[in-house]
Amino acid sequence: MATSTPVRHAWRALTALLVITAVLFGINALGVYVFKGSSWTPELALDLQGGTQIILEAQTADGTAPTSEQLDQAVTIIRQRVDASGVGEADVTTEGGKNIVVQIPGQADEETRQRIEAAAQLQLRAVLYAGAPATTFVGEDGEETPYPTPDPTLNSTPTASPTNGSDPAWITDALYAEYLAYDCTDPANDPASAPEDEPLITCDADNTVKYILGPVELDGTSITDASAGLEQTSGQWVVNIKFDDAGTKTFGKISERLYGAEAPLNQFAFVLDGSVLSAPSMNAIILGGNPSISGSFTQETAQALGDQLKYGALPLSFEVVSSDTISATLGSQQLQIGLIAGLIGLVLVAIYSLISYRALGFVIIASLAVMGILTYVMLCILGWRLGFRLSLAGVAGLIVTIGFTADSFIVYFERIRDELRDGKSITGAVEDGWGRAKRTIYISKSINILAAVVLYILADATVKGFAFTLGLTTALDILIFILFTHPVMQLLARTRFFGSGHPLSGLDPTALGAVYRGRAQFRAPSAAAPKTAAERRNAKSRGEAERRQTIAERKQAALAATDAPKPGSKTQEGED
């Protein structure tokens, strides 16, 4: 059987759509089963699954707007704090150049809140004692025994009054017992809020070393700059620090004290949020205020530490601008409401399409179904790859776009009907209507996508969710229009039911008043489907030039009809 070009084209397009769908499902399947990062349900935003959202505004001490580096640093700091509080799956992002959005599943307790809101504090403390982060010891019986909880009767005031920040007299019996039992990974231990004038038990960021540190001797405000650099002689990466005047003096004294002391008393710790960033030992007396930290740094680690010292040094404080707690019950209820609304909307659109376009309504319904499937799998993939979370506004966006999507089909079908009114064959009308409708769809949908992109870039989080779904569905709409609706119409136009313009098909030329006569001279009247392949090709090959002529004729016919409607004339062709 000879297959005409439009039919071949149609099958090719449908195959392409099938391939795209399969690939998308394949990608998500990979995400679910191989990378274990995705799932078969879209990620839900806080307002649908319940949880706490806190929006903080970062403020610098002098009231200037924080730079993007400071903000990034602030996000890192806050992320570490949230992780340290033992809350899983927290989401910390920046927004609009000065806000930090923290999203936590479930209800945030007061401690977590305070921890998040606390100002970033970089402290410099001398090391009194350092060791492995073990909380157990191997006793005489050869078994591993946890250190006991410190006995409250143990001596907790220094026997001799400590003379400086490195004085071992700080370590009382109680403190030492506490140190032994201290578990670095226990979120209940919160060294960030420890008092400044007392010794501190804490660990480094990786929990590989456990420290007892002296009281705070300098804080981050005394550091004016910190940067990574290459040491001239050794060619190693180091972190260079610059102190201000007061800091230079204090640090000079500290270095005199620490230099040559016995390890670990010669170490000096940089503590951010209670966690030790670095505890280098003092290798010289530094009076110029420009110490550098050397060690086994790579360029990256040196830069990271430099940033932490520099921005952690800036006393960024955080003010809560909005805080939301949504109960999980309310969240799931909202989702349910959204889904019911969407379903009702779909059913209504389906009913209206069937009334208005008869059997063609099924094409709209099928297109919307394909749309639904593709949107769903895209949401799963985007949730996995980009961390996209569906919010209530996003759900609203999806429902609203049902109507917007159906519009592209309406534009197309009305165009086909227009072509039929001009007396074209159904196959011809499907092709020519497509040629015209697609231009309209491309330009109008680009406006929609533009709107979505602009909104997405400029708007805040709530609007972003909506803009994203709007943009995504519009793009998918165009894809489906090209790869599904049009090919399906090409194929349907060749069936008996649609091709012959059955009254229920929605393409009945008689009902559409295929008015006009003047065209017969160009080709055979063809209300019925062309019967030979040659005819079909002919119908297809009518190009742009001829179409132009058609329009001029149509105008005349239209005018003729206005002047004197001729009863009966319009059915002339349909009955042939």
Partner 1 sequence: MRSMSQLGNDLYTGKTSFPFVGRRRLWFLIAALLVIGSVLVPLVRPIQFSIEFTGGSQFTVSSLSNPDQALATEAVQSVVPDAHTKVTTVGDSAVRVQTDQMSPDDTQAVTAALADIYGVDESEVTSSFIGPSWGADVTRQSLWGLAIFLALTFLILALYFRTWKMSAAAIIGVVDVLIITIGIYALCGFEISPAAVIGFLTILAYSLYDTTVVFDKIRENTQEDGEVSGRTFGESVNLAVNQTLIRSINTTVVAILPVGAILFIGAFALGAQTLSDISLSIFVGIIVAAYSTLFVAAPLYSLFRENEPGLAERDARILAARERAIAPA
Site for partner 1 in 74-133 (CB under 8 A): 96, 99, 107, 110, 113
Q: Which of residues 389-428 bind partner 1 (CB under 8 A)?
A: 392-393, 395-397, 399-400, 402-404, 406-407, 410-411, 414, 417-418, 421
Which residues share a beta bridge with 102? Answer: 54, 92
Give the residue with the Cβ less far from partner 1, 261 or 346.
346
Asked if 323 is part of the footprint of partner 1 (rule: CB under 8 A), the reply reads yes
Measured from the CB atom, is 229 or 345 closer to partner 1?
345
Residue from 256, 548, 566, 576 binding partner 1 (CB under 8 A): 548
Among the listed residues 304, 369, 482, 511, the single contact to partner 1 using CB under 8 A: 511
Report which residue type is found at 340. I
**Cis peptide leading into residue 315 (ω within 30°):** no
Give the number of residues written for the chain.
576
402 or 527: whose CB is closer to partner 1?
A: 402
Cα-flanking dihedrals φ and ψ of residue 560, to 5°? -60, -40
Contact 217, 128 (CB under 8 A): no
Distance (Å, whole) CA 568 – CA 177:
106
Which of 18, 37, 290, 352 is close enough to bind partner 1 by CB under 8 A? 352
Distance CA 228, CA 297 (A): 10
Nearer to partner 1, 454 or 534 (CB): 454
Under rule CB under 8 A, residue 450 binds partner 1: yes
The stretch near partner 1 (CB under 8 A) out of 8-16, 174-182, 298-306, 328-336 is 328-336
Place of tokens 């229920």: 504
* Residue (of 428, 557, 561) closest to 501 by Cα position: 428
Single out the segment in contact with partner 1 by CB under 8 A; choices: 126-134, 135-143, 257-265, 557-565: 557-565
As given in the structure block, the two tokens for residue 423 are: 């007396």
By CB under 8 A, is residue 439 in contact with partner 1? yes
- Tell which one of 59, 558, 569, 572 touches partner 1 (CB under 8 A): 558
Binding of partner 1 by 318 (CB under 8 A): no
Nearest approach, Cβ of residue 61 and partner 1 (Å)? 19
Q: Rounding to the nearest 10 degrees, give the CA dihedral for residues 503, 506, 507, 511.
A: 60
Residue 380 CB, nearest approach to partner 1 (Å):
22
In this structure, are residues 292 and 241 in contact, taking their beta carbons and an 8 Å threshold?
Answer: yes
> Exactly one of 18, 20, 321, 524 binds partner 1 (CB under 8 A); which one?
321
- Residue 455 Cβ vs partner 1, minimum distance, rounded to whole Å: 5
Shortest reach from residue 147's CB to partner 1, in Å: 35
Q: Which of 226, 186, 220 is nearest to 203 (CA)?
A: 186
Question: Per rule CB under 8 A, is residue 459 in the interface with partner 1?
Answer: yes
In this chain, which of 466, 468, 484, 498 binds partner 1, going by CB under 8 A? 466
User: Distance between the two ends of the chain, CA-based, in angstroms?
Assistant: 27
User: In the complex, what is the shortest distance from the CB of residue 345 to partner 1, in angstroms, rounded to a whole number?
Assistant: 3
10 Å Cβ neighbour count for 113?
A: 17
The least distance separating partner 1 from the CB of residue 251, rounded to whole angstroms, comes to 37
Give the x/- contact pattern for partner 1 in 267-306, rule: CB under 8 A.
----------------------------------------
Segment near partner 1 (CB under 8 A); pick from 119-127, 204-212, 284-292, 433-441: 433-441
Which amino acid would we find at residue 95? E
Cα–Cα–Cα angle for 496, 500, 505, nearest 5°?
85
Q: Is 564 helix (H, G, I), strand (E, B) or coil?
A: coil
For 408-421, give one letter per residue: b (16+ CB within 10 A) or e. Answer: bbebbbebbbbbbb
298 contacts: CB under 8 Å, gap ≥ 6 = 237
Stretch that binds partner 1, among 72-80, 267-275, 333-341, 534-542 (CB under 8 A): 333-341
Q: State in angstroms the smallest separation of the CB of 104 from partner 1.
A: 14
Look at strands 275-278 and 268-272 and give their pairing: antiparallel
Radius of gyration of the chain (CA): 36
Task: Find the part of the chain contacting partner 1 (CB under 8 A) among 18-26, 145-153, 165-173, 561-569.
Answer: 561-569
Q: According to CB under 8 A, which one of 81, 210, 445, 536 is a site residue for partner 1?
A: 445
The residues in 135-194 that bind partner 1, with binding defined as CB under 8 A, are none
Task: Using alpha carbons, select from 192, 196, 215, 188 the residue that is nearest to residue 205.
Answer: 192
Please identify which residue in 206, 324, 546, 576 interacts with partner 1, judged by CB under 8 A: 324
Question: Exactly one of 460, 496, 520, 532 binds partner 1 (CB under 8 A); which one?
Answer: 460
Q: Which of residues 196-235 bind partner 1 (CB under 8 A)?
A: none
Contact region for partner 1 (CB under 8 A) — 154-162, 301-309, 459-467, 523-531?
Answer: 459-467
- Strand boundaries in 23-118, DSSP class E: 51-59, 91-95, 99-104
Could you tell me the smallest distance in angstroms from the CB atom of residue 115 to partner 1? 13
**Residue 452 tokens, joined:** 């979505």
Are 569 and 517 contacting, i.e. CB atoms less than 8 angstroms apart?
Answer: yes
User: Of the listed pieces 63-71, 190-198, 266-274, 343-351, which binds partner 1 according to CB under 8 A?
Assistant: 343-351
Q: Which is nearer to partner 1, 18 or 344 (CB)?
A: 344
Of residues 322, 495, 532, 541, which one binds partner 1 by CB under 8 A?
Answer: 322
74 HSE (CA, 13 A, CB side): 32
Residues in 39-78 that interact with partner 1 by CB under 8 A: 47, 55, 57
**CB-based burial of residue 30 (10 Å sphere; 0-12 exposed, 13-18 middle, 19+ buried)?**
middle
353 binds partner 1 (CB under 8 A): yes
Q: What angle do CA 125, 128, 130 make, to 5 degrees?
A: 105
* Minimum CB distance to partner 1, residue 404 (Å): 6
Q: 101 near 53, Cβ under 8 Å?
A: yes
When the beta carbons of 211 and 466 are compared against partner 1, the nearer one is 466
Q: How many Cβ atoms from other residues are within 10 Å of residue 208's Cβ?
A: 10
